Chains A and B, each alone.
Chain A
Amino acid sequence: DGGITQSPKYLFRKEGQNVTLSCEQNLNHDAMYWYRQDPGQGLRLIYYSQIVNDFQKGDIAEGYSVSREKKESFPLTVTSAQKNPTAFYLCASSPGTGVSSGANVLTFGAGSRLTVL
């Protein structure tokens, strides 16, 4: 079945460590996204990529980094510079980013919960 796989589901990190969250999709989607979700808040965009080898900062990119070396993969690194990294991280993809019908319907992964100890 086509979909998005995020791993790990739960991750614990000590302060000062970098961690990388994996996101893989087999939907043949061009666009991929990373969102952060905190309790009582809406989703906030960290980074997005419209095509391989290209990515753009979202609203809260500071302290995070990404790469898009393959169409299927969009890993997110939470660096030690991120002051408050404990959150639920969601990866999503869409066929494209245009506004034609269906081009930007998002499909989400199951999420990764990061806790800083």
Chain B
Amino acid sequence: KQEVTQIPAALSVPEGENLVLNCSFTDSAIYNLQWFRQDPGKGLTSLLLIQSSQREQTSGRLNASLDKSSGRSTLYIAASQPGDSATYLCAVRWWSGAGSYQLTFGKGTKLSVIP
């Protein structure tokens, strides 16, 4: 069974700092990995999706990398801003062996960017 871990559970940084959020998964046989952002009391917004054949994806100040062999992904945020404050979740898609793909989420990292 796939397990997804995000450490730390919470992170506080001063505005302008570059930061890295971590996501690890136990079974490296994944098909893709997706990073989401969730604001308090809101739904999830997709940030980046990395296919298993890719090493990284970039969108603006965000860069996500994937190392399947070590079971790790990182989300790099450059020049952090107070508006980046949110909970960031990663999710991995894997073959369940029961006729379908499954998506397993981590518990998220709550990011606070201090002005």
- Contact between A101 and B107, CB atoms less than 8 A apart: no
- Contact between B101 and A104, CB atoms less than 8 A apart: yes
Which residue of A42, A104, A108 contacts B45 across the interface (Cβ within 8 Å)? A108
Which residue of A4, A90, A98, A106 contacts B34 across the interface (Cβ within 8 Å)? A106
A50 CA / B100 CA spacing, docked (Å)? 10
Verify if B63 is at the interface (C-beta below 8 Å from A). Answer: no
Number of A-B pairs, beta carbon distance below 8 Å: 59
Shortest beta-carbon distance from A85 to chain B in Å: 18
Supposing A40-B107, A42-B108 touch, asked if A99 and B101 sit within 8 A by C-beta, the answer is yes
A101 CA / B43 CA spacing, docked (Å)? 23
Q: Find chain B residues with CB under 8 A from A41 CB.
A: 107
Verify if B44 is at the interface (C-beta below 8 Å from A). Answer: yes
- Contact between B44 and A97, CB atoms less than 8 A apart: no
Task: Please count how many residues in chain A sit with their CB below 8 Å of the partner chain's CB atoms.
Answer: 26
- By beta carbon, the residue of chain A nearest B45 is A108
Q: Find chain A residues with CB under 8 A from B107 CB.
A: 40-42
B-contacting residues of A (Cβ < 8 Å)? 4, 6, 40-43, 45, 50, 56, 88, 90, 92, 97-99, 101-102, 104-111, 113
Can you list 5 A-B contacts (CB < 8 A)?
Answer: A43-B91, A92-B44, A98-B101, A101-B51, A102-B49
